Amino acid sequence: MQVITSKDNEIIKNIRKLKEKKYRDQTGTYLIEGTKLIKEAIEENVKIKQIVVCEDCLKDDSCVEQKLLYQVAKYDCIYVSSKIFGLLTDVVNPQGMLAIIEKQNSEEEIKYTEDIIIVLDGIQDPGNLGTILRTVDSVGLSQIILSKTSVDAYNPKVVRSTMGAIFRVKIIESEDLVATLKNMKKHKYKVVATSPSGTENIYEMDYNKKVIVIGNESKGVSQEILDVSDSKVKIPMLGKTESLNAGIATGVILYEYVRRKVNK
């Protein structure tokens, strides 16, 4: 077994470039890290291009379970020294394993069979996007629409915070969100924008064939999106706080949808 020990190795250089969005877009790949995510990627039959294993994991039986090492060995693997792995990881206490994953096809068609579709307009915080993806997965939905002004869904921080949901939720990136929403309306969906000035609240609206737009953390839903929306909806606030974190707001809305489904 050959262990890569040089940071000038071409494979290592290319893996390090995947921390940049430009290179992720060029190659159609992104990084995942940690044994849990890699195990989940294998179980979900995600397209794994390559797996990087730190040599320390092969020496320390407590680092990675043997069963996972056997599974990993079926893929294209490279082995690196701990020093090189330290250059590749963004994690404070790395588990010694990362993988290069092929992106989903972001140009896939929207599925018009679900009750609600979440659209994100200019979400900037990686943690918020990761939380939203995880929440969408948790309520049984399978897609989100992401504006081109939003943070990259394959940002390492986003990927980590999805806890594997990124393998199950289809991410459809819209180059022109206004045009996308207008087309969704042709499929008999109503576009509902979240706004503190909404005339209806989330406990009054119905959750049948709705496109729910979550806006930017500081500016909210953009005016051009408000202009094509059929209505504006708000989360009622009993205290002095006027708005919620985008990830939490999405969770509140989606779990009102779950409550309705459970009660049925």
| Complete DSSP assignment for 155-199 | SHHHHHHHTTGGGTSEEEEES-HHHHHHHHHTTTPEEEEE-TT-S
Structure tokens at 176: 């022109």
| Overall domain count for the chain | 2
Q: Which of 12-26, 62-76, 230-244 ranks highest by mean pLDDT?
A: 12-26
Same-domain check for residues 162 and 73:
no
pLDDT at position 62 is: 58
pLDDT at position 199 is: 87
Residue 209's region, left for phi above 0, alpha for psi from -120 to 50, else beta, is left
pLDDT at position 1 is: 63
pLDDT at position 68 is: 83
Q: Which domain holds residue 235?
A: 116-263
pLDDT at position 107 is: 65
pLDDT at position 93 is: 84
Given 59, 79, 102, the domain boundary residue is 102
Same-domain check for residues 73 and 174:
no
Contact between 110 and 172 (Cβ < 8 Å): yes
Given 62, 80, 102, the domain boundary residue is 102
Same-domain check for residues 11 and 125:
no
Average pLDDT, the chain: 92
> pLDDT (tens digit, 9 = 90+) per residue, 149-206?
999 999 999 999 999 999 999 999 999 999 999 999 999 999 999 998 888 999 999 9
**For residue 262, what are the CA distances in angstroms to 26, 172, 205?**
43, 28, 17
Q: Of 253, 46, 259, give the one whose Cα is nearest residue 135.
A: 253
- What's the full length of the chain, in residues? 264
DSSP 204-250: TS--SSEEEEEEBTTTBS-HHHHHH-SEEEE---SSS-----HHHHH
Q: Does residue 49 carry a pLDDT above 80?
A: yes
pLDDT at position 92 is: 83
On whether residue 128 sits in a domain, the answer given is yes
CA distance 7 to 10: 8
Q: Of 101, 196, 109, give the one whose Cα is nearest residue 145.
A: 109
Q: How confident is the model at residue 95 (pLDDT cuts 50, 70, 90)?
A: confident
Tell me the whole-structure pTM to 2 decimals. Answer: 0.91
Q: What is the CATH number of the domain that holds 69?
A: 3.30.1330.30
Same-domain check for residues 121 and 226:
yes
Same-domain check for residues 134 and 19:
no
Q: Does residue 106 carry a pLDDT above 70?
A: no
